[in-house]
Amino acid sequence: MEQRQLENLLREMTLEEKIGQMVQISGHLLTEGGILTGPADTVEITGEQSALIGSILNKVGAKSLHRIQEEYIAGHPYHIPLLMMFDVINGMETIFPIPLAQGCTFSPELVEAAARVAAKEAAVAGIHVTFSPMLDTVRDPRWGRVMESTGEDPWLNAELGKAMVRGYQGGENEVLSGAGNISGCIKHFAAYGAPEGGRDYDNVEISERTFREDYLRAYQAAVEEGCAMVMTSFNSWNRIPSSANRWLMRKVLREEMGFDGVVISDYAAVAEMVSHGIAEDSREAAKLAIMAGVDIDMMSTAYLNHLADLVRDGEVEERLIDEAVMRILKLKNDLGLFENPFKDCSEEKERELFACVEHRELARKAAAASFVLLKNEGKLLPLDKQSRKTLAFIGPYAENTELYGSWSFPVKPERTVTIRQGVGQKTVGNSVKVVWAKGCPVLNEGMVTRMKYREDYTEIDLNRLMDDAVNAAKTADTVVMCLGEHRDQTGEGGSRAVIRIPENQLELLKRVRQVNDNIVTVIFSGRPLEMEEITERSKAVLMVWMPGTEGGNAIADVLFGDTAPEGKLSMTLPRSAGQIPIYYSQFRTGRPNRTGTKIGFCNGYLDESTKPLYPFGFGLSYTAFDYSPITLSRKEMKKEDTITATVTVSNIGDCAGTETVQLYLRDVKGSVIRPMKMLRGVQKVTLQPGEGREVSFAITEEMLEFYDADMNYVSEPGLFRVFIGTDSGADNYAEFTLMQHK
């Protein structure tokens, strides 16, 4: 449709018809079935009202969405198609590793490819918009939703966020109506990643400086990449819930950041302003939200029941409604829905694409690239499948299909490759002998998860399970412990005060170690866990997060060395929860602690180190890499100059490996305190044993900018330090001076 036609359409619509476009309800309210991602009872709607709504969420499948669209269009006065939205977070039917794990790949290419597959599968299932990427900076692993972010670093999140937007929306020069393209949705605007105490939905108390510098950056990058939608966050910032924050939406998002797409609220977030205590009732909540610039009210009845009256009573200008509706119609038009309301929706294509060989291959590759090898004493890994030794795989994840993270539905466990299947395929016909034992369930008896899921202990003889495991360990040369938290201990509403693996599993590890200390531990998790009790008792430790459909194959690939581990931590691993928040880019203090342990009057704890267990960016390979000193193309930089920083990275081990070379900058002195280090570049190099390669990074003035003491976004002349190394602890550096600006 031409813009003019959209304008004519808008002009013809009644107030109620327009407001209908601004309402989104869950698909289960239209027809039977659907997936619930929030409370079911936040909306009551009549058949007449639902005939006018503009979009639905959480209903999938070509057959059902085709029918819903057909019937809906037939009944709508202007035959305006519905927008179908869904949380396609780390894959639709082929499940990729959770976003936090994708962050550990440090690879925009892989992340874009994974999002592309997710988009293609979602598009044929009838979906037009995914509620992704989540670009919240996350620095508190107690918060369950860290699993849905790519990590603690704004720069990395920005790079990976842009990659996701390209993957979903088809990339540069593509239009949303193109085949396999869906709209992305940046969330959660803003700063949802910093709830107090790591408690989901809690308020955010950070300064405007931190907010702008560390939280807005990734959202901004995705806006610039052309993402068509933004979701408001549940939390308040500066004591105002985001969906009511006019300054945030109209000034920051639209004016400063230049976003001109659709703003949708989070699930019932508009009505929740009443609980927040800033609206008397849902009528006032509706007024605050429309004034702030929320175009679509997701799963509350505030707009549905009150917007029209607010306009008629002169409290809200109809112009605001028109602007919002035009943005929604434009999105529908950009997706090509007026010409083809079914877009890519096709049962035949579902059969062809869902979890097809090509998609599975990518999922396997992405999963393997996301695993982080924390420790490998005595080169216990990789395991040798040609040996005559016995391996015991022990633990509740040894033969478990729940490897897909808490934002993957509809759940299809039969598609997941378990460790047992992956290892079975790898070892069949080889001389190595493999034995299996579960040892214990994932959860302790009575342990609660976000979905109120509990292990059923009535049929379980825990002692027998543990004894069998210990006996298996006795007969083995090497034990592979497959442990971790449950998928539903993470995700929305999945905050934890204790971030350890369940007690039973730790007990199992302790008992196994009494009879065999040749232990490789594979850890499943949706967050950084307290791991010291595990790393102390294991010779090798591999973090596999929630690896998805091809998890078992990818784990077998890495354990047996067919693929070398290359993942790097996208979030710091704390020693203990008491250190939280702990992140690599922390700020310098007046009383620095140089040793990590507290002696005298310096920054830190009496009873804990200030150092993490493993820093951001850390991850081993089966080989080792050496870094030469850094050379800089010049030592003085004028505003328009580019400095090239170069190192030679060499593989000094005895097998091939991929290194993620990381560039960090430090502003040695600023008008405000500057972070210890800031990640500003990443390059991956694959090197054969004995091979060396030059790796160069371009440093520009723009990379040095920050909010100065007067909140101007500038760079300040002075000394800068350039670090290049294998993780954020890198101490290999060179220095240059940024000259006075003319």
Catalogue the active-site residues: 266
CA distance linking residue 34 with residue 299, whole number of Å = 14
Q: Is 87 in the site for ligand NOJ (CB under 6 A)?
A: yes
Diameter of the chain by CA atoms? 83
- Judged on CB neighbours under 10 Å (0-12, 13-18, 19+), 266 is buried
Q: Is 560 in the site for ligand NOJ (CB under 6 A)?
A: no
Q: Which is nearer to ligand NOJ, 299 or 661 (CB)?
A: 299
In 10 A of CB 581, how many CB atoms?
Answer: 15
* Beta bridge pairs of residue 129: 85, 183
State the nearest-atom distance from the C-beta of 85 to ligand NOJ, in Å: 8
For residues 445 and 455, the answer to whether their CB atoms sit within 8 Å is yes
* Beta bridge pairs of residue 627: 649
Q: Which is nearer to ligand NOJ, 87 or 93 (CB)?
A: 87
Q: Which residue has the tokens 């079914």?
A: 342
Q: Among residues 265, 278, 272, 207, which one has the least CA distance to residue 237? A: 207
For residues 499 and 580, the answer to whether their CB atoms sit within 8 Å is no
One-character DSSP codes across 656-697 = -EEEEEEEEEEESS-SS--BS-EEEEEEEEEE-TT-EEEEEE
Q: Is 28 in the site for ligand NOJ (CB under 6 A)?
A: no
CA distance linking residue 390 with residue 576, whole number of Å = 35
Helices and strands (DSSP H and E) totals, the chain: 21, 27
Q: Which is nearer to ligand NOJ, 88 or 519 (CB)?
A: 88
| Interface pick for ligand NOJ out of 492, 667, 716, 727 (rule CB under 6 A) | 492
State the nearest-atom distance from the C-beta of 132 to ligand NOJ, in Å: 8
One-character DSSP codes across 296-350 = BEES-SHHHHHHHHHHHTTSS-HHHHHHHHHHHHHHHHHTTTTT-TTTT--HHHH
Binders of ligand NOJ in range 438-477 (CB under 6 A): none
Mask: binding to ligand NOJ, 605-644, rule CB under 6 A, as x and -?
----------------------------------------
Backbone angles phi, psi at 445, to 5 degrees: -60, 130
| Interface pick for ligand NOJ out of 189, 267, 371, 584 (rule CB under 6 A) | 267
Q: Is 272 in the site for ligand NOJ (CB under 6 A)?
A: no
For residues 401 and 419, the answer to whether their CB atoms sit within 8 Å is no
CA distance linking residue 288 with residue 500, whole number of Å = 41
State the nearest-atom distance from the C-beta of 43 to ligand NOJ, in Å: 13
Q: Which is nearer to ligand NOJ, 136 or 566 (CB)?
A: 136
Q: Is 143 in the site for ligand NOJ (CB under 6 A)?
A: no
Mask: binding to ligand NOJ, 44-83, rule CB under 6 A, as x and -?
-------------x--------------------------
State the nearest-atom distance from the C-beta of 134 to ligand NOJ, in Å: 6
| Both structure tokens of 453 | 């899921």
State the nearest-atom distance from the C-beta of 199 to ligand NOJ, in Å: 14
Q: Which is nearer to ligand NOJ, 37 or 671 (CB)?
A: 37
State the nearest-atom distance from the C-beta of 611 to ligand NOJ, in Å: 33
How many residues lie near ligand NOJ (CB under 6 A)?
9
Q: Which is nearer to ligand NOJ, 148 or 667 (CB)?
A: 148
Q: Is 550 in the site for ligand NOJ (CB under 6 A)?
A: no
Q: Is 131 in the site for ligand NOJ (CB under 6 A)?
A: yes
Q: Which is nearer to ligand NOJ, 267 or 707 (CB)?
A: 267
Beta strand 23-26 with 297-298 is: parallel
CA distance linking residue 433 with residue 427, whole number of Å = 8
Q: Which is nearer to ligand NOJ, 197 or 578 (CB)?
A: 197
Backbone angles phi, psi at 39, to 5 degrees: -60, 145
In 10 A of CB 597, how many CB atoms?
Answer: 15
Helix H, strand E, coil C: the string for 615-662 is CCCCCECCCCEEECCCEECCCEECCCCEEEEEEEEEECCCCCEEEEEE
For residues 685 and 647, the answer to whether their CB atoms sit within 8 Å is no
Q: Is 38 in the site for ligand NOJ (CB under 6 A)?
A: yes
The secondary structure element, H or E, covering residue 114 is helix 108-124
State the nearest-atom distance from the C-beta of 233 to ligand NOJ, in Å: 8
413: helix, coil or strand?
A: helix
In 10 A of CB 574, how many CB atoms?
Answer: 25
Q: Is 136 in the site for ligand NOJ (CB under 6 A)?
A: no
Q: Which is nearer to ligand NOJ, 385 or 450 (CB)?
A: 450
Backbone angles phi, psi at 731, to 5 degrees: -120, 15
State the nearest-atom distance from the C-beta of 683 to ligand NOJ, in Å: 32
Q: Is 37 in the site for ligand NOJ (CB under 6 A)?
A: yes
Q: Among residues 634, 611, 632, which one has the least CA distance to residue 727? A: 611
State the nearest-atom distance from the C-beta of 545 to ligand NOJ, in Å: 19
Q: Which is nearer to ligand NOJ, 285 or 556 (CB)?
A: 285
CA distance linking residue 205 with residue 196, whole number of Å = 7
Amino acid at 135: L
Q: Which is nearer to ligand NOJ, 195 or 336 (CB)?
A: 195
State the nearest-atom distance from the C-beta of 245 to ligand NOJ, in Å: 17
Q: Is 266 in the site for ligand NOJ (CB under 6 A)?
A: yes
The number of residues in the chain equals 742
State the nearest-atom distance from the C-beta of 26 to ligand NOJ, in Å: 9
* Beta bridge pairs of residue 697: 645
| Interface pick for ligand NOJ out of 116, 120, 162, 187 (rule CB under 6 A) | 187
Beta strand 706-707 with 713-714 is: antiparallel
* DSSP conformational letter for 496: -
State the nearest-atom distance from the C-beta of 189 to ligand NOJ, in Å: 11
Q: Is 530 in the site for ligand NOJ (CB under 6 A)?
A: no
Q: Which is nearer to ligand NOJ, 142 or 438 (CB)?
A: 142
State the nearest-atom distance from the C-beta of 188 to ligand NOJ, in Å: 6
Binding site for ligand NOJ (CB under 6 A): 37-38, 57, 87, 131, 187, 266-267, 492
